[in-house]
Structure 1
């Protein structure tokens, strides 16, 4: 089985100080994934803008980079979503914003809206760089969900294409699955036994998924399974942060309502405080 989930990659282009870094990141990914790159600019086209884009991307000509600049006026969210749909973009790259006083990253309002509405996969970048920073350590969610098998499979594909060294599959387990009130040594032992049984069950489920992935994508990479008891979304984000993961891979959420944003869970926790670059897979 040969995987190629990202035949086309799109990136929103703003002529800002980070333009070169963003384009270099997008160009490298397009080459790694053998994808066509679409540069989406909200605004009118001009010869100066087109020349600037070609000049910045000229070093990638030797790597046979294929790209197309798309200029369209309108509201940023609507423009980017409509171009992504029209051009059949599989992966949309968005930049995150640093909140200096806390030294943390969060998704800006435009990127957040796009992330919630996009029908394609999303890559949120917190530190785009002109010089490539190798992606060595990937964390991927392994929670029990219909989308998880594909997410783990594509995480291994990404790891292979980026020459990552390690993948950790994190199974987030809700604390209330234990169903034991701990108030003495006996109940503590019982709770610990239940926890171990749940961990064994979760590890077995994840191992079955990994065994179905072609060896092409699982060879030469360290694989770890890590069950965690805690709040979904927050727990895996914290784990990715403390293990200094270079990339966190998550399932795309189901259609989110107003109440999902008012009472954050799962992906909303990640969007609030990005622990690292985040890939959200449809």
Structure 2
């Protein structure tokens, strides 16, 4: 059971225009989860850099923010991954990249490599903000998978800590499960009956998972079950976008193969075009 998944939160720190926004997002989450914050800078230490970071985080002193800074030169991917393991980080925060002239975000090459290789959970932020923006609606995958019960439980845990009011559990169902070729009105009716049976089955499975989640996490939450027939990864990403979700929570991907990288599916669809902030749970 995911009762305290995030004891240590890490974030890669670059001295860019987004520095303050990224630090504030990471610090707020660390305060929410009562977690230690580890700032990872790929580069040499300096008094000037240390002062900039401490000045940025000064407003969190009243919240008893516990943080440390790690300076380490080297390859960004290797430094962030190795430091995450050394510091036993449970949640690593990475920024997404905005496409030129288009208001869409995707995971850049460095963040994508880290996401594929990290042994901890990953939070991908598309629009970090200095101001605190409420997380009102969380969408979480409910697909039939050994990891899903833990992911849904963690979603309620997160919702409880960030005061989210609504959780939608999306059950992505492969079209091939219908097994009915639609050729006329009669076969269309038969296909619709099969769809409804599958939806009832999936809702029953997810409701059974919800029953085992501590009531303190589920009370005062609006819970919606949303079965969708379509391609895994793409369907839930599209739903999160059109429903204006503030956070999408997904299972971590299974081990990537060469073919997975050539033909994106599941989590790869999400990484290619982020619909909102995305939390990938290990």
Q: TM-score, normalised by structure 2?
A: 0.99
Alignment pair present for 1:279 and 2:274: no
Show CA shifts across 1:10-68 (max 9, x none).
Answer: 00000000000000000000000110000000000000000110000000000000000
- Residues 2, 153 of structure 2: 8 Å contact kept: no
Q: What's the CA shift for 1:265?
A: 0.4
Q: Secondary structure at the match of 2:200?
A: helix
Partner of 2:223: 223
Deviation (angstroms), 1:2: 7.7
Q: Aligned-pair distance for 1:200?
A: 0.1
In the alignment, structure 2 segments of 5+ residues that lack a partner are: none
Supply the distance in 1 between the matched residues of 2:210 and 2:119 (Cα, whole angstroms).
26
Match of 1:185 in 2: 185
Q: Deviations over 1:81-100 (max 9, x none)?
A: 00000000000000000003
Cα distance in structure 2, aligned partners of 1:239 and 1:124: 18
Q: Does 1:19 align with 2:24?
A: no
Superposed CA RMSD in Å reads 0.8
Task: Determine if the alignment matches structure 1 residue 151 to structure 2 residue 151.
Answer: yes
Task: Give the alignment of 1:120-269 within 5 angstroms.
Answer: 120-269=120-269
Contact 2:2–2:157 (CA<8 Å) still a contact in 1?
Answer: no
What are the Cα deviations for residues 90-118 of structure 1, in whole angstroms up to 9, with x where unaligned? 00000000003232100010000000000
Gaps of 5+ in 1: none
Give the secondary structure class of the aligned counterpart of 1:11. Answer: strand
Q: Is the 8 A contact 2:237 2:270 kept in 1?
A: yes
1:57-68 maps to which residues of 2 (within 5 A)?
Answer: 57-68=57-68
**Deviation digits for residues 234-258 of structure 1 (CA, Å, limit 9, x no counterpart):** 0000000000000000000011112
Tell me what 2:29 maps to: 29
Q: Using the alignment, how far apart are the partners of 2:73 and 2:150 within structure 1?
A: 35
Alignment: residue pair count? 282
What is the DSSP-based 3-state SS (H/G/I as helix, E as strand, rest coil) of the residue aligned with 1:264? coil
Runs of 4+ in 1 over 2 A off after TM superposition: none
